[in-house]
Structure 1
Amino acid sequence: MSDATTRRTALVTGASSGIGMATARKLADLGFVVYAAARRVERMKELEAQGIRPIAMDVTDDASAAAGVDRIIADTGRIDVLVNNAGYGSYGAIEDVPPEEARRQFDVNIFGLARLTQLVTPHMREQGDGYIVNVSSMGGKLYMPLGGWYHATKFAVEGLSDSLRLELAPFGIKVVIIEPGAIETEWGGIAADALLERSGSGAYADSARRVAKALTSEASGPFRGSSPEVVANAIGRAVRAKHPRSRYAIGAGAKPATYARRLLPDPVYDRGVRFLVSAAGRRRD
């Protein structure tokens, strides 16, 4: 129980790569006892070498999630920060994505997040303090073609988080939404591959080719993405703030894109999205 009296404790999901891995490292650097959760524990050897504690966890499995939270409480007696980062992008025309895949997208991106929040909330309420950080996306405020199921989950994260913020404020628990823009991770490549598999032929083939190239364009030119550390740094600032902002739009394109969405009427915004997707596709032809 020595950790409970000297250091705050954080749980970061989806920590085997990208934003989750960078966030686990950042919070450890800030002095947190960090538990890094992912299905692929073997990919967290470097984190373990840095003193970060890996946990095998599937956020869609209730027993797995509950066991992870129980372990943290048994080890440290507390949980101060939950970073709900686990998620993926399921792309494809809405009519092409099988119902079971659409359900899985919601299971990982929204229901897993919600269940972990339910599990940690009683402990934070007892402490009278805590931070729940939900990693959404600028895709929770805007949209692009062939990403309907993904955007639906991120819009849901935004709405759930807003309600949660009001519910938990009386107990001293802060709820923060992180809205990354384009980030240099494996996310885009995985989403693009799935898109081409589902909609790379047939009625949506041309659109699928262009959107896939837009998804993988973070590595070059004006579409270059930010590093995952940019997002990790924002999370680090949020969990140290007495009164954090409700939202942090962070990374390449996030602030201007979300601002434009607020200002522009739908027809104008739609034309802008089509232009950007086409430009990204042409740039990498």
Structure 2
Amino acid sequence: MKKTILITGCSSGIGYCAAKTLHNHGYRVFATARRPASVEMLLNEGLESFQLDLADSNSINLAFKSVMRLTNGELYAVFNNGAYGLPGAIEDLSREALRGQFETNVFGWQELTNLILPVMRKQGYGRIIQNSSVLGFVSLPFRGAYNATKYAIEGLSDTMRLELTGSNIFVSLIEPGPIESRFRENAVKMLLKYVDVEKSIHHERYHKVLKRLHTKGPAVPFTLPPEAVLRRVIHALEAKKPHPRYYVTFPTFLFGTLKRFLSTRALDALLAKSGGDH
């Protein structure tokens, strides 16, 4: 019998790569996306797909019920991946902007996971894989909203892992640095939607940020393809004892090490130079 996995955010990048590859490796994949056009694309490529908008509780419930109906109430794994980035200085972000970022990147993930957990408890096994980020444990300027959501995911995941001790349900965090995707393209849209760039005290920095976000191809060093994340996802799915955390890309290993050995002040000085303009 095929192992089943529900993946969110499959329109491109990491989610798309995971859905296609795991399907080809014999998993029964439920590839979800927010936009109907993305769902149609996935269906045309031979995947089982339906709409799931992480900012909409009704959409989450409908997607969950669809999976349960198709699997007779069982699910081996969920890969929470769907998210977006909202660049901007903290002082420029409204309550509405922050709420939207959390609705998709945190609340939607946890609502979906909480629907799935009783199913996994009943069947006696399961894998919950959370696509976090290097920005889940270090902060960069002008990434505050996204940083906060990933810090939240890290805290929720660590707590779930403790609460699920002995249940045969494993929680793993994937922590990538820069990965090839449409992330920057979507980030530009969100920045321009919520921030009046020209009226901000940071307008000169924003123009540098926008230049970086508009760059074609890798905008920063050490960018890897989504397959680098997929390798960790496969280990988290198939290892007898999956790791609680999986680092991906050189920056994640670098900052993970520096955070252990540098003082907060020294790390701040380094991170302040690493973000915003580059």
Tell me, yes or no, whether TM beats 0.5: yes
1:215 Cα deviation (Å)? 4.8
Superposition pairs of residues 211-250 of structure 1, within 5 angstroms: 211-215=209-213, 219-220=217-218, 223-250=221-248
Q: Which runs of 5+ in 1 are unaligned?
A: 1-5, 281-285
Conserved in 2, the CA contact under 8 Å of 1:145 and 1:211?
A: no
Cα-to-partner distance string for 1:193-242 (whole Å, 9 max, x where unaligned): 53366153231112223344455668347625111121122101210111
Q: Which of residues 250, 253, 261 in structure 1 aligns to 2:251?
A: 253
- Asked if residue 43 in structure 1 is aligned to residue 38 in structure 2, the reply is yes
How many pairs align? 275
- Asked if residue 95 in structure 1 is aligned to residue 105 in structure 2, the reply is no
What does residue 3 of structure 1 align with?
A: none
Q: Which runs of 5+ in 2 are unaligned?
A: none
Superposition pairs of residues 104-143 of structure 1, within 5 angstroms: 104-143=100-139
Superposition pairs of residues 190-229 of structure 1, within 5 angstroms: 190-195=186-191, 198=195, 200-201=197-198, 202-215=200-213, 219-220=217-218, 223-229=221-227
What does residue 26 of structure 1 align with?
A: 21
**Structure 2: distance between partners of 1:21 and 1:118:** 24
Q: Secondary structure at the match of 2:83?
A: coil
Cα-to-partner distance string for 1:96-137 (whole Å, 9 max, x where unaligned): 112111111111111001000100001111111000011111
Aligned residues: CA RMSD: 2.1
Q: Secondary structure at the match of 2:29?
A: strand
Overall identity of the aligned pairs, in %? 34
Bigger proportion of residues as helix: 1
- Asked if residue 163 in structure 1 is aligned to residue 138 in structure 2, the reply is no
Question: More displaced, 171-180 or 211-220?
Answer: 211-220
Q: Which of residues 65, 73, 82 in structure 2 aligns to 1:70?
A: 65
| Distance verdict in 2 for CA 1:100–1:279, change over 3 Å | closer
TM (norm. structure 2) is 0.91
Conserved in 1, the CA contact under 8 Å of 2:222 and 2:251?
A: no
